[in-house]
Amino acid sequence: MTSRELITDYIVDVWMDGDAESLEPETPITELNIIDSAGIFDLVHYLQSELRISIPVQEISPKNFRSVNAIAELVDRLRKGEGGNAA
């Protein structure tokens, strides 16, 4: 499973009652209030424990959490930068 699929599945299950049809990779999830600021921190915790990565506080920004694609790009960048080190 790709990071994009993992993120999409989690958002759909937790905040969208399983309705995956209305979530595209570029859907502005924060602008549409699919996820609020508390939800972002829940998602960060999930990603850190599920993918065993560390997401620095300075990376938790509206830009990095605006869409599934943006979150997946952040995760992929952090995974490469950590060289596989667990959080």
Residue 63 domain-assigned (yes or no): yes
Residue 64 domain-assigned (yes or no): yes
For residue range 22-51, what is the model confidence (pLDDT) as tens digits?
Answer: 899 999 999 999 999 999 999 999 999 999
The CATH number for 73's domain is 1.10.1200.10
Instruction: Give me the pLDDT at residue 83, please.
Output: 52
Instruction: Give dist(CA 16, CA 82) in Å, integer.
Output: 31
Instruction: Give me the pLDDT at residue 84, please.
Output: 45
For residue range 56-84, what is the model confidence (pLDDT) as tens digits?
Answer: 999 999 999 999 999 999 999 999 986 54
Q: Give the range of the structural domain holding residue 10, as residue numbers without chain letter.
A: 3-82
Residue 78 domain-assigned (yes or no): yes
Examine the pLDDT at 86 and tell me if it is beyond 50: no
Asked whether the beta carbons of 44 and 50 are under 8 A apart, the reply is no
Residue 87 domain-assigned (yes or no): no
Residue 37 domain-assigned (yes or no): yes
SS (H, E, C) the chain: CCHHHHHHHHHHHHHCCCCHHHCCCCCCCCCCCCCCHHHHHHHHHHHHHHHCCCCCHHHCCCCCCCCHHHHHHHHHHHHHHHCCCCC
Q: What value does the mean pLDDT take over residues 6-19? A: 96
Q: How many domains does the chain have?
A: 1
Q: Using a cut of 0.85, tell me whether the model's pTM lies above it.
A: yes
